[in-house]
């Protein structure tokens, strides 16, 4: 016989306190709310999350890839419902990207425990390690490892100084060998649900308080290297220069041009370096990272071909060597129709205004979706701003999203 229980209820003040505590753990001297996965502070944040999980009555562990995993035992169906997101940030990022999903999932656990309501399913909450692209260009490191998609090639990715991702992981206490073998047995997991801020303007424009994600963007990232020749800036005629910086700049503009031609497609360049970094020396070598995003894998492949050709053309014109290295393409990830249906029914029953949408942002849910039926809930972002210090979501909206997450868990437990 089950114990009596009261209706589980989300406590907004606890969400606020959790978000504020994480906002206090940032890298000193860096812009916004910076907590990069390969920096020192992220580890403290993940340890704080682990303690919160333990305090909420969960069994906790940190897996080989640095993912913090908490498990609230159910009454014994042997099946699992998984929730989670990430707590690392981009440089100069905000306070809500990822953290809302982790703090929100913990609040679901607290609300359940407080009410005396026990699920049949185990409820697992994950704070995924390193969701944001690290300085080696790899994102979703923890979730990739969990589904068995982290490879030796990933660990060998290196920066200009030859430092590898494996070295950087070891420095923050993630053993690279353990990360490679951190694949989890997910056969007991019925469903994964991630709550996240929208990071774009759509929900606000629609006047909706909840987003129901239909699919998550595909992504194709690259690193472009240009080798020219250092020469005197005042004496070297323009027509004989081998200016690697100009070839890189032309390629950056090609990214913008190609992405502008598709529907819902995006293209961005960043992390540009010119060497030597001097105004009176023709740039000898240049490097940048870029990415394309879009809802169709076919368009992404087409964009890869066009960008590689554009870079080569920019190089040839200037006798500059060009090397464009593409990371494996991340396919667009449709959410499981059954999960989307359940989330839609829950949000309707709660009387929340909701809109279905496509996610142009990347998420751990896109990785999990390849192994587990997956769904995502969004809450609105003020002015659509994200990956900047201005990122903001009202506490009321966060609480509504967490309430939707809680009731989704209850519905999935019964389903
Ligand atoms: O880059 C992204 O889309 C995500 O915020 N990590
Ligand atoms: Mn992000
Ligand atoms: Mn995120
Ligand atoms: Mn089930």
CATH code, 58: 3.40.630.10
- Neighbour count for residue 395 (Cβ, 10 Å): 12
Residues 374 and 297 in one domain: no
Residues 113 and 169 in one domain: yes
Question: How is residue 327 written in tokens?
Answer: 């990371």
Residues 228 and 185 in one domain: no
Residues 101 and 213 in one domain: yes
Write down the pLDDT at residue 1. 46
Q: Which of 272, 293, 326 is the last residue of a domain?
A: 326
Asked whether residue 129 carries a pLDDT value surpassing 90, the answer given is yes
Would the annotation count 134 as a binding residue? no
Domain total of the chain: 2
Q: What pLDDT band is residue 322 in, cutting at 50, 70 and 90?
A: very high
CATH code, 272: 3.30.70.360
Write down the pLDDT at residue 4. 66
Q: Is residue 4 part of a domain?
A: no
What are the pLDDT digits (tens) for 1-37?
455 678 999 999 999 999 999 999 999 999 999 999 9
| Residue 322, phi then psi, degrees to nearest 5 | -130, 135
Range of the domain at 292: 220-326
Q: Is residue 5 part of a domain?
A: no
Q: Is residue 249 part of a domain?
A: yes
> What pairing do the DSSP bridges indicate for beta strands 354-359 and 210-216?
parallel
> What pairing do the DSSP bridges indicate for beta strands 59-62 and 333-334?
unpaired
Neighbouring-strand partners of residue 221: 291
What are the pLDDT digits (tens) for 234-290?
999 999 999 999 999 999 999 999 999 988 999 999 999 999 999 999 999 999 999
Q: Is residue 364 part of a domain?
A: yes
Nearest atom (ligand 1) to Cα of 361: 3
Would the annotation count 232 as a binding residue? no
Asked whether residue 220 carries a pLDDT value surpassing 70, the answer given is yes
Percentage of the residues of the chain whose pLDDT score is greater than 90: 95
Residues 151 and 140 in one domain: yes
Question: How is residue 332 written in tokens?
Answer: 């667009």
Residues 143 and 17 in one domain: yes
How many Å lie between the centroid of ligand 2 and the Cα of residue 316?
36
* Cis-peptide into 191, omega within 30 deg: no
- Report CA 191 to chain centroid distance, whole Å: 19
Q: Give one DSSP letter per residue of 251-313, joined into a string.
A: HHHHHHHHHTTSSS-EEEEEEEEEES--TTB---EEEEEEEEEES-HHHHHHHHHHHHHHHHH
- The residues whose Cβ lies within 5 A of ligand 3, an ion, are 97-98
Write down the pLDDT at residue 310. 98
Q: Is 362 in the pocket of ligand 1 (CB under 6 A)?
A: yes
Residues 227 and 89 in one domain: no
Q: Which of 87, 88, 96, 139 to mutate to test the pocket of ligand 1 (most atoms within 8 A of CB)?
A: 139
Residues 240 and 337 in one domain: no
Q: Which of 224, 225, 297, 307 is nearest to 260 (CA)?
A: 307
Q: Which letter does DSSP use for residue 264 in this model?
A: S
Would the annotation count 13 as a binding residue? no
List all residues 6 or more positions away from 44 whose beta carbon is below 8 Å from its beta carbon: 25
Q: Is residue 3 part of a domain?
A: no
How many Å lie between the centroid of ligand 3 and the Cα of residue 3?
37
Write down the pLDDT at residue 5. 73
How many Å lie between the centroid of ligand 1 and the Cα of residue 45?
19
Q: Which of 326, 355, 390 is the last residue of a domain?
A: 326
Residues 99 and 247 in one domain: no
Write down the pLDDT at residue 160. 75
Q: Is residue 374 part of a domain?
A: yes
Q: Is 132 in the pocket of ligand 1 (CB under 6 A)?
A: yes
Asked whether residue 292 carries a pLDDT value surpassing 70, the answer given is yes
How many Å lie between the centroid of ligand 3 and the Cα of residue 63?
20
Q: Is residue 273 part of a domain?
A: yes
Tell me the CA distances in angstroms from 307 to 254, 299, 317, one per residue in order. 7, 12, 16
Q: Which of 60, 19, 23, 98 is nearest to 378 (CA)?
A: 98
Residues 134 and 149 in one domain: yes
Would the annotation count 370 as a binding residue? no
What are the pLDDT digits (tens) for 335-360?
999 999 999 999 999 999 999 999 99
How far, in Å, CA of 235 to CA of 100, rounded?
56
Q: Is residue 163 part of a domain?
A: yes
Which pTM value belongs to this model? 0.95
Residues 80 and 169 in one domain: yes
How far, in Å, CA of 227 to CA of 236, rounded?
17
Question: How is residue 225 written in tokens?
Answer: 């290297």
Nearest atom (ligand 1) to Cα of 360: 3
The complex's ipTM works out to 0.94
What are the pLDDT digits (tens) for 354-383?
999 999 999 999 999 999 999 999 999 999
Q: Which of 94, 131, 220, 388 to mutate to test the pocket of ligand 1 (most atoms within 8 A of CB)?
A: 131
Q: Give one DSSP letter per residue of 179-205, joined into a string.
A: HHT-----TTEEEEEEEEE--SSHHHH
What are the pLDDT digits (tens) for 162-187?
899 999 999 999 999 999 999 999 99
Residues 209 and 246 in one domain: no
How many Å lie between the centroid of ligand 4 and the Cα of residue 80?
7
Q: Which of 126, 135, 121 is nearest to 37 (CA)?
A: 135
Q: Which of 310, 326, 342 is the last residue of a domain?
A: 326
How far, in Å, CA of 305 to CA of 328, rounded?
14
Write down the pLDDT at residue 415. 83
Tell me the CA distances in angstroms from 21 to 2, 126, 177, 350, one per residue in order. 36, 18, 32, 29
């Amino acid at each position: 016989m089950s114990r009596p229980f009261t209706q589980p209820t989300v406590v907004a003040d606890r969400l606020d306190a959790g978000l504020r505590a994480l906002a206090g753990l940032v890298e000193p001297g860096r812009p916004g709310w910076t907590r990069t996965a390969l920096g020192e502070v992220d580890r403290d944040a993940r340890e704080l999350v682990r303690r919160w999980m333990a305090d909420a009555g969960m069994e906790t562990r940190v897996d080989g890839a640095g993912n913090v995993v908490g498990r609230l035992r159910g009454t014994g169906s042997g099946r699992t419902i998984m929730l989670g997101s990430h707590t690392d940030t981009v440089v100069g990022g905000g306070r809500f990207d990822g953290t809302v999903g982790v703090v929100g999932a913990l609040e679901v656990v607290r609300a359940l425990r407080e009410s005396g309501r026990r699920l049949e399913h185990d409820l697992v909450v994950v704070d995924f390690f390193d969701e944001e692209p690290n300085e080696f260009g790899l994102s979703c490191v923890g979730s990739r490892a969990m589904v068995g998609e982290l490879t030796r090639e990933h660990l060998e990715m290196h920066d200009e100084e030859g430092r590898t991702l494996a070295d950087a992981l070891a420095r923050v206490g993630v053993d690279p060998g353990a990360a490679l073998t951190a694949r989890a047995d997910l056969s007991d997991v019925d469903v994964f649900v991630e709550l996240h801020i929208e990071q774009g303007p759509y929900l606000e424009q629609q006047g909706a308080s909840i987003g129901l994600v239909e699919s998550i963007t595909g992504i194709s990232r690259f690193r472009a290297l240009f080798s020219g020749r250092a020469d005197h800036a005042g004496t070297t005629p323009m027509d004989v220069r081998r200016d690697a910086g100009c070839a890189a700049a032309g390629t950056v503009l090609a990214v913008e041009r190609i992405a502008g031609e598709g529907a819902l497609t995006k293209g961005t360049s960043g992390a540009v370096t010119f060497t030597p970094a001097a105004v009176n020396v023709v740039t000898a070598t240049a490097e940048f990272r870029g990415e394309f995003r879009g809802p169709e894998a076919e368009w992404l492949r087409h964009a890869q071909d066009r960008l590689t050709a554009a870079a080569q053309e920019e190089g040839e014109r200037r006798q500059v060597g060009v090397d464009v290295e593409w990371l494996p393409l991340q396919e667009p990830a449709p959410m499981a129709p059954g999960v989307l249906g359940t989330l839609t029914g829950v949000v309707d029953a709660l009387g929340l205004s909701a809109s279905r949408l496509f996610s142009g942002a990347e998420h751990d849910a896109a990785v999990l979706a390849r192994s587990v039926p997956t769904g995502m809930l969004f809450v609105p972002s003020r002015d659509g701003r994200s990956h900047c210090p201005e990122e903001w979501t009202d506490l009321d909206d966060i609480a509504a999203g967490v309430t939707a997450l809680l009731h989704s868990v209850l519905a999935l437990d019964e389903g």
